[in-house]
Amino acid sequence: MSLTCEFAVLNGSERIVGARMNPAGPVVVYPTGGNPARRVHGVHPAIVHAMTVLERVTRRVNDRVNFRILGPLRAGVRGEQIDLGGDRARLVLAALLLAPDRPVPVERLVDGVWPDGPPESARTQVAIVVSGLRRAFCRAGTDRQVIETVRPGYRVSAENVTIDALAAERHIAAARRDAAAGRLASAAGRFHAALALWDGPVLAGLGGPLVEAGAVRWGELRLAAVEEAAQVELALGRHRELVGELLGPVGEHPYRERLRALLMLALARAGRQSEALDVYHEGRRRLDEELGLEPGRELRDLHAAILRDDPSTHPGAPVVTSMDPGAHVVASCAVPRGRALRWRRTTGPARPLRCR
């Protein structure tokens, strides 16, 4: 590793005033301002010190434990996977990662590991599990305290680790800011970067009420990001590409009406009106047969708009791109904000509603 530095004479001594890491090549020193006319090759004592400091910082960043919870639980340091042990250790670690920077009481960890009733030695066994995890992280080459002992239990500090879920949350927050500012292309890229971090159901393979309850938050965040990303893609005129991206989520969550409405709108704008109507009828059939419900107003209004070939279902029509998770994408109707599914018992055939 080499370094590119800028130096100046300050109080009779040469001091480093700027430095850049360089993966290869000789150490290159520039005078103040980076004037290449006085380029000097060699190792200056001040550069040796600066390089040592920067290498130490680089090592400090690289020895963080990288945790992945958006899928099967995994951990690694510098690309090397860490053996986390059996299910008991994984459950304890998962509970801590679902609440980063917050102390998780030992009693809560005990309930998560033994939901049907803990043994008398449960607290001791949790302490043994935590000790084993700490040894595993140490053997992997990190000198950070990944799991801290704090009253009334343990805590994972987000400052000492990286967690894919927190990275996804930051991407989504940035995407929402970009969308609100009208930077739709940037918003689309950030949404896709966030969604790419998911590798299956949150903490796939682990069960129990503690893990399942904690995983709900991240599952809901993913669905909200899918919907908001679809709104942005529609606003950018990418309805054809969007159809394939929405088929999977709609199949996984058939009762989530906002997803179904977005797929219908993408199909209609791609000139596939008959398929858009099929998506509506399939959703209505499932709601009726499996839940005894009728579609909510959003789907009914969009269905009516497609039937009458409303201009709002044509390519190039404006799309609501508010990043408020309660905002809906519906033809030209003013639709009130509400839940993804309208819980109303079926009393008869659904009547088409007029757009107001």
- Is the domain of 58 the same as that of 76? no
- Residue 350 confidence class, pLDDT cut points 50, 70, 90: very low
Compute the C-alpha angle 288/294/299, nearest 5°: 120
Point out the least confidently predicted range of 183-197, 207-221, 306-320, 342-356.
342-356
In order, the DSSP letters of 4-58 are EEEEEEETTEEEEEEEEEESSS--EEEETT--GGG-EES--HHHHHHHHHHHHHH
Residue range 180-187: mean pLDDT, rounded: 96
- Is the domain of 137 the same as that of 27? no
- Residue 297 confidence class, pLDDT cut points 50, 70, 90: very high
CATH value at residue 313: 1.25.40.10
pLDDT (tens digit per residue) in 187-232: 999 999 999 999 999 999 998 888 888 889 999 999 999 999 999 9
Any domain includes 318: yes
Any domain includes 232: no
Q: Which two tokens stand for residue 198?
A: 């998911």
Residues whose CB is less than 8 angstroms from the CB of residue 152 and which lie 6 or more positions away in sequence, other chains included? 103, 105, 106, 107
Any domain includes 9: yes
- Cα–Cα nearest to 156, from 289, 66, 256, 279: 66
- Is the domain of 81 the same as that of 210? yes
- Residue 319 confidence class, pLDDT cut points 50, 70, 90: low
- pLDDT number for residue 340: 37
Query: 159 or 13: which carries more pLDDT confidence?
Result: 159
| Domain span including residue 276 | 237-356
Compute the C-alpha angle 75/79/81, nearest 5°: 40
pLDDT (tens digit per residue) in 281-296: 999 999 999 999 999 9
What is the average pLDDT score of the chain?
79
pLDDT at 110 over 90: yes
- Is the domain of 86 the same as that of 209? yes
Residue 305 to residues 94, 281, 284, Cα–Cα distance (Å): 46, 14, 16
Residue range 99-121: mean pLDDT, rounded: 94
Last residue of a domain, one of 44, 62, 80: 62
Domain count, the chain: 3
- Is the domain of 164 the same as that of 92? yes
